[in-house]
Amino acid sequence: MANTDRRNLLKVVLASGAAALCASALAPPIAYVVAKRGGAGGERWVKTVRLDQLHEGRPRKVKIVSDVRDAWKLEKDAELGAVWLIRTGDEVRALSVVCPHLGCSIGADEGGKGFSCPCHDSSFTADGKRQGGPSPRDMDALGTRITDGVVEIDFRRFRQGTPDRVEVG
């Protein structure tokens, strides 16, 4: 009787030992793979074109050129993405080209009547309001300011597929 008990105890001890050994081997790689690294996010003012290069009623797509950090790389003057600029008087509105639906690049319809996405046919009015298709929200407006006649954009990215705008970074 005592012998069986001792043997069972031994089994439990050995099994727990083996389990602990496995766990100690697995834990560091798992922790490493799921670790979150703080991203950039926040304000990033990027210079684009001069105000006098924009014309009313003609939205213009400009590339966002800035430094990009991707993992270990720092790329100077890389193309981060693009925005649509719409001029009204001396005001400029900036709309991200990234479709709020699933992130394809939104294009302008001919004649500046509005915008549409080539992937799932989301459509937007000329000022970026949601009009049809699967997009859950309006095109994402970005902050603009004009410094010495140059249009600057507060370039940010947002989560896709949600009705609310949530910044990712």
| DSSP label of 33 | H
Task: Kindly state whether residue 112 participates in binding other proteins, applying the rule CB under 8 A.
Answer: no
Is residue 57 within the footprint of other proteins (CB under 8 A)? no
Residues 134, 138, 141, 154: which binds other proteins (CB under 8 A)?
134
DSSP string, 91-142: EEEEEESB-TTT-PBPEEPGGGSEEE-TTT--EEETT--EEESS-SSPPPEE
- Binding string, residues 62-91; x marks residues near other proteins by CB under 8 A: -xx-----xxxx-----xxxx---------
- What span, in angstroms and rounded, lies between the C-alpha atoms of 144 and 64? 13
Nearest to 86 by CA among 110, 112, 107: 112
- Report the residue number, 57 or 136, with the smaller CB distance to other proteins: 136
Q: Which is nearer to other proteins, 11 or 121 (CB)?
A: 121
3 state DSSP class of 48 = strand
Residues of this chain that interact with other proteins (CB under 8 A) are 33-34, 36-37, 39, 49-50, 53, 63-64, 70-73, 79-82, 97, 101-105, 107, 118-121, 133-134, 136, 157, 159-163, 168-169
